C-alpha cells in the first residue's frame, strides 16, 4: 500500500461569469465557465502511525488548523472513511491567496483526491464531489478535473468536450480582494424562481475570446481602478482578450501562443508589486 503521494493543485480562471440572481440564502446563482491552468501549488501527503492531521504551509501565513480548508477537507474525509493512523500534509503555495484563482478550493479538492487514493479509493469521484460541495462552491469543479460550466452556486457542473488550448499571462496586483465585498456591490434582486440561462457555445479560440465576460469585473474595478489599467496594458501588449478572474483581483490576458505571452511578461515585469505568472490550459 502506498503511504505517500505528491500532487499538483492547479489554479483556475473564469472565462465567462454571469451572475444571474441573489438567492434568499445569501448565495448567488451563477453561470460560469471554469478552466484549470498550469499555475499550481505543490502538495505532499504522508500517512502516519499517529492519529490526527498535521498541516504545514511553509512560507505563508495560512492557518494550520481547521481555519484552513485543507485541514477541513482532510477532517471530513477521515470522519467518513478513516485511516489506520493520521496524515501529514505539506502545502507549498505558488497560487496567490484571495486572488480569484480558486487556490483554496483546489487545495481542498486535491486533499480529498489524494486521501482517497491513499485509503485505497473507498469513495467514488461523485462521492468526493458531494463532500467537496460542503467545503466550498468551487471544490467539486477541481475534483471533476475537466473544463466545465458551473451553475447554481457552483454545484451543478457540465463538462466541456475538447476545450480550446490557450496561453495566459496572469497579473496579480499584489493585494487581496474580498469576494463578499464584491458580491455585495452587485445590485441584484432576490428570487426563488428557477433561472434559465442559454450558455454560449465555444468551439474555437475566437469563440471564447469574443465571449470573455465577468459580471463582477465592474464592481472590482470601481473598488480598484488599477484593474482596468492592467487590462489595457495586457491588450496593448498583444493579448487577444483580457478579463478579471472570479471576484479578482487577478487579471489574465489570453494569447495566441507562448511566445507572445513571454514578450508581454518581459514588458510588464517590474510593474511595482504586481505578480506575473505565465500559464496554459490543462
Q: What is the pLDDT of residues 95-141, one digit of tens each?
A: 999 999 999 999 999 999 999 999 999 999 999 999 999 999 999 99
Distance CA 87, CA 78 (A): 9
User: What digits encode the pLDDT tens for the residues 180-194?
Assistant: 888 888 875 444 445
The more confident residue out of 198 and 77 is 77
CATH code, residues 167-280: 3.30.70.890
209 vs 43: which has the higher pLDDT: 43
pLDDT, average across residues 18-39: 86
Which pLDDT does position 191 carry in this prediction? 46
Amino acid 200: pLDDT: 67
Is the distance from CB of 275 to CB of 174 less than 8 angstroms?
yes
At 40, list the grid cell: 499550481
Q: How many CB atoms lie within 10 A of CB 75?
A: 15
Provide the pLDDT for residue 152: 86
pLDDT in tens, 203-223: 666 778 888 999 999 999 999
Q: At what angle do helices 226-236 and 258-268 cross, to 10 degrees?
A: 130
pLDDT higher than threshold 90 for residue 178: no
Q: Is 281:36 a contact under the CB 8 Å cutoff? A: yes
pLDDT classification of 155: cutoffs 50, 70, 90? confident
What's the confidence (pLDDT) of residue 1?
61
Q: Which of 70, 65, 80, 73 is nearest to 123 (CA)?
A: 80
Topology, domain 4-159: Ribosomal Protein S5; domain 2 (3.30.230)
Query: What is the predicted pLDDT for the residue at 260?
Result: 96
Q: Which long-range contacts (CB under 8 A, 24 or more apart) does 142-145 make?
A: 142/9, 142/10, 142/12, 142/36, 142/102, 142/105, 142/106, 142/108, 142/109, 142/110, 143/109, 143/112, 143/113, 145/36
Assign 27 a pLDDT band (cuts: 50, 70, 90). Answer: confident
Highest mean predicted confidence (pLDDT) among 39-48, 145-154, 201-210: 39-48
- Region 234-252: mean pLDDT is 96
Mean pLDDT of the chain: 91
Q: Which residues does the annotation mark as catalytic?
A: 12, 138
Average pLDDT score over residue span 13-22: 90
Would you say residue 202 has pLDDT above 50? yes
* Burial grade of 60 (CB within 10 A; 0-12, 13-18, 19 or more): middle
Are the CB atoms for 252 and 13 separated by under 8 Å? yes
Say whether pLDDT at 36 is over 60: yes
Domain ranges of the chain: 4-159, 167-280
Q: Are strands 148-152 and 213-214 parallel, antiparallel or unpaired?
A: unpaired
Is 3's pLDDT higher than 80? yes
Element (H, E) at 72: helix 69-81
pLDDT of 154 reads 77
Dihedral angle computed from the Cα positions of residues 69, 214, 227 and 231, in that order, rounded to the nearest 10 degrees: 120
**pTM of whole model > 0.75?**
yes
Amino acid at each position: 500500500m502506498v503511504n505517500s503521494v505528491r500532487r499538483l493543485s492547479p489554479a483556475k480562471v473564469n472565462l465567462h461569469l454571469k451572475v444571474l440572481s441573489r438567492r434568499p440564502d445569501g448565495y448567488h446563482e451563477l453561470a460560469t465557465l471554469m478552466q484549470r491552468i498550469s499555475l499550481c501549488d505543490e502538495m505532499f501527503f504522508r500517512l502516519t502511525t499517529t492519529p490526527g492531521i498535521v498541516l504545514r504551509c511553509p512560507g505563508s501565513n495560512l492557518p494550520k488548523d481547521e481555519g484552513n480548508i485543507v485541514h477541513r477537507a482532510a477532517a471530513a474525509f477521515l470522519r467518513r472513511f478513516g485511516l489506520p493512523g493520521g496524515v501529514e500534509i505539506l502545502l507549498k503555495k505558488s497560487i496567490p491567496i484571495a486572488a480569484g484563482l480558486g487556490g483554496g478550493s483546489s487545495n481542498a479538492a486535491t486533499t480529498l483526491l489524494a486521501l482517497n487514493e491513499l485509503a485505497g479509493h473507498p469513495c467514488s469521484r461523485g462521492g468526493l464531489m458531494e463532500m467537496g460541495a460542503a467545503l466550498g462552491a468551487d471544490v467539486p469543479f477541481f475534483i471533476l478535473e475537466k473544463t466545465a460550466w458551473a451553475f447554481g452556486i457552483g454545484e451543478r457542473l457540465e463538462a466541456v468536450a475538447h476545450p480550446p488550448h490557450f496561453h495566459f499571462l496572469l497579473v496579480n496586483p499584489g493585494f487581496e480582494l474580498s469576494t463578499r465585498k464584491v458580491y455585495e456591490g452587485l445590485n441584484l434582486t432576490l428570487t426563488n424562481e428557477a433561472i434559465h440561462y442559454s450558455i454560449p457555445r465555444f468551439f474555437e479560440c475566437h469563440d471564447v475570446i469574443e465571449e470573455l465576460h465577468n459580471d463582477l469585473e465592474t464592481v472590482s474595478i470601481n473598488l480598484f481602478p488599477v484593474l482596468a489599467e492592467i487590462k489595457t496594458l495586457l491588450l496593448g501588449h498583444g493579448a487577444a482578450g483580457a478579463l478579471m478572474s472570479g471576484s479578482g483581483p487577478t487579471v489574465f490576458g489570453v494569447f495566441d501562443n507562448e511566445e507572445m505571452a513571454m514578450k508581454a511578461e518581459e514588458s510588464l515585469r517590474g510593474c511595482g508589486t504586481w505578480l506575473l505568472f505565465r500559464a496554459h490550459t490543462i
